[in-house]
């Protein structure tokens, strides 16, 4: 069976998108990756590369009247989040696969993603999600804001139940797709909070080697690397890493990268080294290729989906509000378990590649 995946990115994310494709080539014998190019330059490049298992999709071929209407009112990030669910819809309608999985472009695979499809088949599920798996101390607050599940690897079966929920999600994202942080709206993610409770055919994957990311890496310990890939321990069990989510890389310059990992206690330095150094070298290889062959230089300074907002001017009221917050128990707890390790290990958060 062919593993069908889809993703989207623009020309400024090409380096990560090509790294994603390379990782799939290494671990999967039979896959196809549909890529929605979010600008013409991106489409031109991936079309020219003629990668065997990659099918480029031109934005003008994908966009419906509904999408074009909301596009006028949304930022680049908001529009990408709007398109993710609709891309799954497009691939299912156009190519008619049995299963289709949306993946974020900044993932890197270390073993075959077909394992998740097998889990779905065993459980007779039509939809699959992956939990953020925040640590217990901040799980309640962070899940309230950004959602219990992460839209990074979501699979829909092309059957009545899978299409039913996919259509609901597509409409929700078309209606509203901002990151309000109000416990109701956070891009395309918060809509998934109730899926496993309300739809019996939706499951959260039990494969804890999937969905490792900066927000939960402190729960994992590096064991070894062997023919099965990178082996980690979590909850007293061993897993081979399925994929890692290299979210929020910030380039100080081409060779110095802030990885934004060291913001919790207990981060395993060996695991960070096993993941980040090889990945950043792969990304650098594609930066060089894209620059030399196509004249596109990529240097992302901040998360492209989040708009930078000017800080509000201080006044007397806000000053005393901050003072009160500093001496509150929630702030002190957050400081001890988040801000303090961030400050203490800030130098480890920068990686130099040559």
85-137 confidence digits (pLDDT tens):
999 999 999 999 999 999 999 999 999 999 999 999 999 999 999 999 998 88
Mapping DSSP onto H, E and C, the string for 11-47 reads HHHHHHHHHHHHHHHHHCCCEEEEEEECCHHHHHHHH
Cβ-defined contacts of 204-207 (< 8 Å, 24+):
204/128, 204/129, 204/130, 204/131, 204/149, 205/116, 205/119, 205/128, 205/129, 205/130, 206/119, 207/115, 207/116, 207/119, 207/239, 207/242
Q: Give the pLDDT of residue 82.
A: 98
What's the mean pLDDT in 146-153?
Answer: 98
Domains recognised in the chain with CATH numbers: 3-294 (3.90.550.10)
Per-residue pLDDT band for 341 (boundaries 50, 70, 90) equals confident
Q: Give the pLDDT of residue 309.
A: 42
- C-alpha angle with apex 255: 254 to 260, nearest 5 degrees? 95
pTM greater than 0.85: yes
Say whether pLDDT at 329 is over 80. Answer: no
Q: Give the pLDDT of residue 321.
A: 44
pLDDT tens column, 13-50: 999 999 999 999 999 999 999 999 999 999 999 999 99
């Amino acid at each position: 069976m062919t593993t069908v995946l889809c993703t989207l990115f623009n020309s400024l994310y090409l380096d990560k998108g090509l790294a994603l494709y390379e990782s799939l080539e290494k671990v999967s014998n039979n896959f196809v990756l549909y890529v929605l190019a979010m600008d013409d330059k991106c489409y031109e490049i991936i079309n020219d590369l003629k990668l065997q298992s990659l099918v480029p999709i031109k934005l003008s071929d994908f966009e419906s009247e509904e999408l074009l209407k909301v596009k006028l009112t949304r930022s680049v990030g908001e529009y990408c989040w709007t398109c993710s669910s609709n891309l799954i819809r497009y691939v299912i309608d156009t190519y008619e696969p049995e299963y289709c999985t949306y993946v974020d472009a900044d993932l890197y695979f270390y073993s075959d993603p077909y394992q998740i499809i097998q889990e779905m088949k065993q459980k007779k599920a039509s939809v699959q999600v992956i939990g953020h798996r925040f640590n217990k101390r901040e799980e309640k607050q962070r899940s309230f804001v950004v959602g219990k599940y992460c839209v990074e690897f979501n699979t829909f079966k092309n059957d009545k139940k899978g299409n039913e929920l996919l259509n609901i999600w597509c409409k929700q994202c078309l209606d509203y797709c901002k990151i309000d942080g109000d416990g109701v709206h956070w891009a395309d993610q918060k809509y998934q909070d109730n899926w496993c409770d309300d739809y019996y055919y939706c499951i959260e994957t039990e494969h804890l080697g999937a969905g490792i990311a900066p927000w939960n890496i402190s729960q994992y310990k590096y064991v070894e690397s062997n023919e099965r890939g990178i082996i980690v321990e979590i909850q007293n069990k061993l897993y081979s890493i399925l994929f890692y989510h290299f979210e929020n890389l910030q380039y100080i310059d081409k060779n110095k990268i802030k990885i934004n990992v060291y913001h919790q206690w207990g981060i395993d330095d060996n695991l960070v080294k096993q993941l980040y150094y090889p990945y950043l070298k792969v990304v650098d290889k594609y930066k060089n290729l894209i620059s030399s062959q196509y004249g596109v230089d990529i240097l992302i300074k901040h998360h492209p989906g989040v708009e930078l907002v000017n800080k509000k001017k201080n006044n007397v009221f806000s000053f005393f509000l901050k003072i009160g917050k500093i001496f509150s128990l929630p702030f002190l707890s957050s400081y001890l378990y988040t801000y303090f390790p961030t400050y203490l290990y800030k130098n480890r958060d920068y990686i130099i590649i040559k």
